[in-house]
A = this chain, B = another copy of it.
C-alpha cells in the first residue's frame, strides 16, 4: 500500500481535476487509507426547489468520497470508476455544511465496495441525512483513466 503522503497527494491532485467539485464548492478535508471526507457548504447554488441541498449534490460528494476512499487503497496509476451507487435520503440536507465520510467496506481485485455516511451540520450538531453504498471498479491500462 502506498504511504500516506503519497496517497494524500495523489487524491488531492485528482480531486483538483474534478470540475464538478469546484463548481459545487466542495472541499477535500481528510484523506487516510480507505477513508476520505468531503465537505460542502450549504448554499443556494446547490439547492433543490424547497431550499434544501439537492439530492444530486449530496450524491455527488458522497460518490466522490466513496471513490477516493477506494482509490486510496489502489496502486499508483490505477484509475477508479463508479459502476453503481444507491443513496437513501433520511432527512432534508440543510444547515451550515454537509459532510460526506466515505470508507471502504471491502477492497477486491476488480471491484471495491465503499460506504459513505452523510451528515447535515447545523450550529455544530451533526445529523445523519443520507447513506450511500457504491461499487467502484479498478481500471488499469486505459488511456486517460488514472487516479
Chain A residues near B (Cβ < 8 Å): 14-15, 17-24, 43-51, 54-57, 59-61, 63-64, 79, 81-92, 105-106, 108, 110-111, 113, 115, 128, 131, 133, 135, 137, 144-147
Contacts and interface: CB of A to CB of B under 8 A. Distances in A.
A82 B89 contact: yes
A81 B89 contact: yes
Nearest to A132: B133
10 contacts: A17-B49, A17-B50, A19-B43, A20-B54, A23-B24, A55-B85, A59-B59, A81-B92, A82-B89, A135-B135
A87 to B, nearest CB: 6
Contact of A23 (B14, B23, B49): B23
